[in-house]
Amino acid sequence: MGQITLSKVTKRFGDVSVIPPLDLRIEDGEFVVFVGPSGCGKSTLLRLIAGLEDVSDGQIAIDGKDATGVPPAKRGLAMVFQSYALYPHMTVRKNIAFPLRMAGLSPAEQEKKVMAAAQVLNLTSYLDRRPGQLSGGQRQRVAIGRAIVREPQAFLFDEPLSNLDAALRVNMRLEISELHASLKTTMIYVTHDQVEAMTMADKIVVLNAGRVEQVGSPLHLYQNPQNTFVAGFIGSPKMNLITGAEAAKHSATTIGIRPEHIATSTTEGLWKGTVGVSEHLGSDTFFRVNNTGLGETIMVRAGGEVAIRHGETIYLTPDPKKIHRFDDKGQRL
């Protein structure tokens, strides 16, 4: 149904290669998240899949059929834009009905499907309003409704939550995940927020400067990052990456240890340092440790409330089973 394959897909803008040859396979029904820093090409990749941009080279296949030259309208995909891109001069009802109108459905059929989508998304009381009269979250839902109603092979989401405030973002995240659970349609989701990626994805594609750094399930990426980029990108706060003598002790150029895998003690431990800035969230405490002789400030996370003060001496012991080792090219050892 919604199986998408990218073979050697390349994108150049003039002389600049934005996406070097890329291979990717997305299975039907998967929730795939493209994640990466700004400018890594994730939105470009999404637009290539949507057909809004031409590939410079390579092939895109949807359900085994070559879709590389097919115009966006005919690919059977639906897209939710970052700015929602609702038609401001049409009511919510007409917005959602638009794709059906383009497909030539009768007004009666249009109304039926619009109502169905509106019910799923709690939009029934807003059907006669214009987008300008809706809140951000409501507009989001209209954009999703417009996509659902097309019954596409796959949904494409382009950073849909970045324009919402934090609380709304958490709610919408859940709603989208639930939508996926009920529709079981393939969803490709682009975001720069690795928390969204970790919580929503079946499969995460980490991108950096157009290259796929790693593909895998959230847990797999967390536990087995293939290179220092993925190691530092996934997980918040970032994994501590240490080079130099300490790394050499583990026969690696760089070692990594996550803040949550470091035990602390005021009396004894492997590394000694002074406490710098600390953040007390109640549920966790994050603090930075300086002067460890390791060349880096170490970020440590402890559960619960820890009574530790700026300038105090502290001892850190990393869990030896959770130390990641990387070679001089940043690849996992």
| Minimum CB distance to another protein smaller for 51 or for 318 | 51
Q: Compute CA 22 distance to the chain's CA centroid, rounded to the nearest angstrom.
A: 18
CA atoms within 13 A on the CB side of 189: 30
Q: How far is the CB of 11 from another protein (least distance, A)?
A: 12
Q: How far is the CB of 183 from another protein (least distance, A)?
A: 18
Six token digits for residue 128: 């006669």
Q: How far is the CB of 91 from another protein (least distance, A)?
A: 13
| Nearest alpha-carbon partner for 99 in 124, 75, 65, 73 | 73
One-character DSSP codes across 238-266: PPEEEESHHHHHTTSSEEEE-GGGEEEES
In a 3-state reduction of DSSP, which class is residue 158? strand
Q: How far is the CB of 114 from another protein (least distance, A)?
A: 13
35: buried, middle or exposed (CB in 10 Å: 19+, 13-18, 0-12)?
buried
| Minimum CB distance to another protein smaller for 79 or for 275 | 79
Q: How far is the CB of 27 from another protein (least distance, A)?
A: 22
| Minimum CB distance to another protein smaller for 81 or for 222 | 81
The amino acid at residue 212 is: V
List residues near another protein by CB under 8 A. Answer: 47, 50-54, 69, 71-74, 77-79, 81-83, 85-89, 98-99, 102-103, 146, 150
Q: How far is the CB of 8 from another protein (least distance, A)?
A: 19
| Minimum CB distance to another protein smaller for 99 or for 259 | 99
| Minimum CB distance to another protein smaller for 15 or for 328 | 15
Quick check: 71 and 54 in contact, CB under 8 A? no
Tell me, letter by letter, the H, E, C secondary structure of 103-142.
CCCCHHHHHHHHHHHHHHCCCHHHCCCCHHHCCHHHHHHH
Six token digits for residue 20: 């070097």
DSSP category for residue 74: G
Quick check: 153 and 74 in contact, CB under 8 A? no
Q: How far is the CB of 130 from another protein (least distance, A)?
A: 12
The amino acid at residue 148 is: I
| Minimum CB distance to another protein smaller for 18 or for 50 | 50
| Minimum CB distance to another protein smaller for 19 or for 275 | 19
Q: How far is the CB of 146 from another protein (least distance, A)?
A: 7
Quick check: 90 and 38 in contact, CB under 8 A? no
| Minimum CB distance to another protein smaller for 52 or for 170 | 52
